[in-house]
Chain A
Amino acid sequence: MIGPLNLLSSERAAEPASADGYADHPRRMGFFTDTSVCIGCKACEVACKEWNHVPEDGLNFTAMSYDNTEGLGADTWRHVKFIEQRKPLGRQEPGLLHELASPISFNGQVGQVAPAAPKLAALPQASPDGSPFIDFRWLMASDVCKHCTDAACLDVCPTGALFRTEFGTVVVQEDVCNGCGYCVPACPFGVLDQREGDGRIWKCTLCYDRISYGEEPACAKACPTNSIQFGELDELRERARGRLAQLHEGGVRDAQLYLDGKEDGIGGAGAFFLLLDEPEVYGLPPDPVVTTRDLPRMWKLVGAAAGALFATAVSSFVRAGK
């Protein structure tokens, strides 16, 4: 089995499984994570751990809002991020502003309860122009392996433990991985890591077992708001474009799709996202490029360097030979 150097083509992006040798395979499956409806419940994290027997990895107080799992790794395959921002909510006003629409003083009819406005004054009113809107929003996003078309982890794995499934996803075979760790710094998203006391590498399998039986992955199944959507990638991409247009129309102009294309540095992702701010805010790289894209050039330079060393050594004998 000889791994080919990356063949970058849109065909490959659409169905990496065919490019990687599957003659007959299902459509490429993936995730669309719409963070605009995420409520940060972490059902996905829990469902993933339960289904995949992922061990507990510390319930830490991190001082990072409600995030206590910190990042993707060997024992966190879905990671819910929490971002607290002094930014307006877009159209999603929380409805806490009593002078505009108070449920209590509504028409003066609901009991005789005194308006709670004084309390509200203590809430952050950071809008610099003095507008009465509360500038605070809470972003939540469930991160996961992107199941890249041009997957660095898969390219660099020397044992072939990482492989492409017929669904176009990227999975580690735990009985082959020897824990060389090459895939860990190769992934541009920091997805994989070595499990302590085990030595091998673990990551999201996009529930290879479940989807092989026509079930959706555990996280998508458990997500109460459908923030995590599973399906055929083409269909998901279309759905995501519709959702983006809807949000833009609604005034949520920060909304953007992340990794939804086929032309990016990873040849298109199998798991993409709708974000409400720049990717950096979510700890996601804005322009990830698969490292092996530069590898052909690296090999050439390695060859040139080896040649230079050989020539220098020979000449050091020739010149000293007198």
Chain B
Amino acid sequence: MNQTEVTKEGLKHERPEREATTGVVAGRKQRRDTMVPPAKFQSYYGKPVINKPVWASPDIPGYLFLGGLAGASSLLGAGGQLTKRRGLARVSKAAAAAAGGLSLVALVHDLGRPARFLNMLRVFKVTSPMSVGSWLLSAYVPAAGLAALSEMTGAVPLLGTAASCGAAVLGPAVASYTAALISNTAVPAWHEGHKTMPFVFVASGASAAGGLAMAAAPLAESGPARRLGLAGGAVELALTKAMEHQMHPAVRKSYHEGKAKWLIRAAEALTAAGILGGFAAGRRSRLGAGISGACLVAGSACTRFGIFWAGEASALDPQATLTPQRERFEEKISFEKGAEVEELRG
């Protein structure tokens, strides 16, 4: 019905009907009072503005957790080897290889077309943390695997040491890039946390890796793991709170409701228990070290799952998207108006 002809050169025979204003022909009385001030909370039938992530639990939150555990474990593994703590090196390298491998499995499993995983390595894009992460993992996972294999079997010791060092260099990046991965989205509860999220993630990774090694490595060798785990746990606790507080109240809300609320609370309780237990009994008691280590690992996992579900909730809540944007928009407008007034005066 649209008889305007569209050509590569542009429109031809444009028709005028689209200019019609209802009521003009009938000459109805013009009304000037039609501006209605916008109501405070408007949305389209309460429907979300953005589409919620299709990422599934436990794949993706598990992936976040495992990446942190693996990355920080590689540091303990290499450190253990270099400082001749063989038990610590063994445990941490095994943890890094297992967690790294599992995180890759989780990532592939979550794809809509798992058979096409290798398409990830078709291009390298710094604008896509997932692309960067895929390349990172494709270097890290084999390195961590080789390091563990050599540590366990004693085979290829030189290559094993090189792989351990390689994994220790890549490890921190593996633990932290996932923060960019999720905060580089339009999901309010993730994006608004982008300034603090990387630090929360590495702290959470340190807590998990430290906790695991503390629980599984010989007491005599687990000093560094305990230090790393306790420091990580403490920073994780503090920064998760700080991150929430940097957010707009409409966004922060998603951390205090539903699944996220319980997971974040559990994370706090577990991590706090792990820290206290670690201080009190981590050095001397096998059982104490085991329990407090396990608490740190579980706390770290809960933090990741909590952040994941807060993101999902905020994506479903139109006000989490709309309110901060509306306020930003109003500010911009009043700023522009102010500038105009300045100009008129000056």
Q: A: which residues have CB within 8 A of B?
A: 1-6, 26-27, 34, 36-37, 62, 64, 67, 70-73, 81, 83, 87-93, 95, 100-101, 133, 152, 155-161, 176-182, 184-194, 198-201, 214-216, 220-227, 229-232, 235, 243, 246-247, 250-254, 277-278, 280-288, 291-292, 294-295, 297-299, 301-310, 312-317, 319-321
8 nearest A-B residue pairs (beta carbon): A179-B112, A199-B112, A283-B44, A178-B116, A320-B223, A3-B125, A305-B198, A306-B172
Q: Is the CB of A188 within 8 A of B194?
A: no
Closest to A143 in B: B44
Q: Is the CB of B75 within 8 A of A91?
A: no
Q: Is the CB of B112 within 8 A of A180?
A: yes
Size of the B side of the interface (Cβ < 8 Å), in residues, is 110
Closest to B198 in A: A305
Which of A27, A83, A226, A307 has the most chain B CB atoms closer than 10 A to its own CB?
Answer: A226
Q: Among B134, B201, B225, which residue has its beta carbon within 8 angstroms of that of A305?
A: B201
Q: Is the CB of B30 within 8 A of A309?
A: no
Does B20 touch A at the CB level, under 8 Å?
yes
Q: Among A62, A73, A216, A227, which residue has its beta carbon within 8 angstroms of that of B51?
A: A73
Contact A306:B322 (CB < 8 A) given known A161-B119, A291-B184: no
Contact A91:B228 (CB < 8 A) given known A156-B128, A225-B18, A304-B198: no
Chain A residues within an 8 Å CB radius of B34: 87-91, 251-254
Chain A residues within an 8 Å CB radius of B124: 1-2
0 or 1 for each of B199-231: is its CB under 8 Å from A? (1 = yes): 101110110001000000000000111111001
Chain B residues within an 8 Å CB radius of A291: 184-186, 191
Q: Is the CB of A254 within 8 A of B36?
A: yes
Q: B: which residues have CB within 8 A of A?
A: 1-2, 4, 6-8, 10-11, 15, 17-24, 26, 28-36, 38, 42-45, 47-55, 71-72, 75-76, 79, 82-83, 110-114, 116-117, 119-120, 122-131, 134, 171-173, 175-177, 179-180, 183-187, 191, 194-195, 198-199, 201-203, 205-206, 210, 223-228, 231-232, 311, 315, 318, 321-322, 325-326, 328-329, 332
New A-B pairs, 9, CB < 8 Å, besides A91-B30, A176-B122: A1-B123, A159-B123, A220-B6, A283-B47, A302-B179, A303-B176, A312-B231, A313-B206, A316-B228
- CA–CA, A6 and B126, complex, Å: 10
- CA–CA, A87 and B35, complex, Å: 9
Q: Among A155, A189, A223, which residue has its beta carbon within 8 angstroms of that of B128?
A: A155
Q: Is the CB of B130 within 8 A of A182?
A: yes
Q: Is the CB of A188 within 8 A of B195?
A: no
Chain A residues within an 8 Å CB radius of B38: 277-278, 280
Chain B residues within an 8 Å CB radius of A199: 111-113
- CA–CA, A319 and B98, complex, Å: 28
Chain B residues within an 8 Å CB radius of A188: 49-50, 186
- CA–CA, A182 and B7, complex, Å: 35
Q: Is the CB of B113 within 8 A of A316?
A: no
- CA–CA, A65 and B109, complex, Å: 39
